[in-house]
Amino acid sequence: MTVQPHLPRRALAPLLTGTLALALTQPHSQAQANPVSPLHPANYLARGTVAQRSVATMPVLPNSAQMANYLKNLHSTYVTDQFKGKLPLSGNVFAYNIPIHTVNSKDPNQNYEWFYSFDHRVKYQSDEYKKLMGAETPVRIPLPKNFQIPAGGDRSIAVYDLGTGLWRSFFLVQKTTEGEHKGRWHYSSGGYIKDARALAGSGHSLQLTGGSSSVVGMASELTQIGIDEVLAGRINHAVSFTLPNARSGYSWPARQGDGNLTDPLAPYEGQWFRINPAVNLDSLGLRPLTLMIAKALQKYGGYGSDRNIWCMAANYEYDTSQTEATQGNSRWYTQVQAKYGQAPENLHDFPFQHLQFAPKDWKGGL
């Protein structure tokens, strides 16, 4: 996948003013069709995988300080003049994050949608892939009624089936409006994990079993920051970020990358980093959400999962209870911002000076 350059968007601009829609107290019917989030701290799907490995003994590159400074300032190469030097870290709330829809194919009332792809990226996939993903021959996919495809970014979604354990993810999803497949959903690329129920405690890399819906070929949706875990006060896993750009190549657990930088200070997609464990983060005066993210990086680390040709941004769980027309109703504002007094996009106090980078393809800590 190649991420297209894009115009500035609300997901990467600080919310400094505005009235929150605090009247939202009942979940939408769409949310009721998504009863369990795999990012919920009570049932985190990727527990015991690479997303929860300890970074306490992570080897550190000797030029980490220079890499951190390079990454902090990299956004100035891509953003418009008004943001140069001012947008070292933001958050993806509405674009470049990926909705996760939890469904149950064993439920007789489960809604289904037809998915298919004729894209060249699926042509040479395995027979199993084609059967599960609808490549060349359409297949019915369990999905909530009136599910959302984000209008911004990559138009991607992930679907976790409680009935079978099958994890599917799709990139560039578009509804077909005419012809033989009118009303069906076409995607450009996708991937799957055959039984994601087996992830727990497995030390799994989160690499997809087959195909790829993301740049790095991983189920990176499971390293997005969950709404419920933030409301509970702690992020319990590694965090994925979109980067302004990345070094050409990739680092395990990524299986591929789309960076094109040659500077040795640029991180690879998939390359692990952490906050120095010797730093007392509580003493830095960070705002609550920034502090929570920094503590997750200090314990579990983080990595770049994509590039956005804009700025570095933490990936937040896409609130599937919102609609594109009422983004202000997102729980990121009605609950998270209301609780912590910090807009989720506004992470400008992030302590880049304490970032440390692992060598390429570091596989320890599990």
| Span between the terminal Cα atoms of the chain, in Å | 29
Residues of the chain scoring pLDDT < 70: 1-35, 323-325
- Report yes or no: 312 and 243 within 8 Å, Cβ to Cβ: yes
**Quick one: how many helices (H) and strands (E) in the chain?**
7, 15
State the pLDDT at residue 366. 84
Q: Which residues of 200-210 are buried (b: 16+ CB within 10 A; e: fewer)?
A: eeeebbbbbbb
> Cα angle vertex 220, ends 301, 212, to 5°?
140
- Report yes or no: 193 and 135 within 8 Å, Cβ to Cβ: no
Nearest CA to 349 among 274, 298, 284? 284
Q: From the centroid of its chain, how far is CA 4? A: 17
Long-range contacts of 118-126 (CB under 8 A, 24+ apart): 118/186, 119/187, 119/188, 119/189, 121/188, 121/189, 122/189, 122/190, 122/211, 125/210, 125/211, 126/210
Q: Is 295 exposed, middle or buried (0-12, 13-18, 19+ CB in 10 A)?
A: middle
Q: pLDDT tens-digit profile of 258-290?
A: 999 999 999 999 999 999 999 999 999 999 999
- Report yes or no: 223 and 305 within 8 Å, Cβ to Cβ: yes
State the pLDDT at residue 4. 34
State the pLDDT at residue 324. 61
- Report yes or no: 323 and 27 within 8 Å, Cβ to Cβ: no
- Classify residue 261 by its DSSP letter: B
State the pLDDT at residue 87. 92
Q: pLDDT tens-digit profile of 9-22?
A: 333 333 222 222 22
Q: pLDDT tens-digit profile of 327-359?
A: 778 999 999 999 999 999 999 999 999 999 999
Neighbours of 24 (CB within 10 A): 18
State the pLDDT at residue 323. 66
State the pLDDT at residue 359. 98
In angstroms, rounded to a whole number, what is the distance separating the alpha carbons of residues 32 and 220? 24
Provide the mean pLDDT of the chain.
89
State the pLDDT at residue 148. 81
- Which residue blocks in the chain are alpha helix, DSSP H? 29-32, 64-73, 127-133, 227-232, 288-299, 331, 338-340
As a dihedral over the C-alpha atoms of residue 256, residue 259, residue 260, residue 264, rounded to 10 degrees, the angle is: -100
State the pLDDT at residue 35. 61
DSSP symbols for 322-336: S-GGGGGGSHIIIII
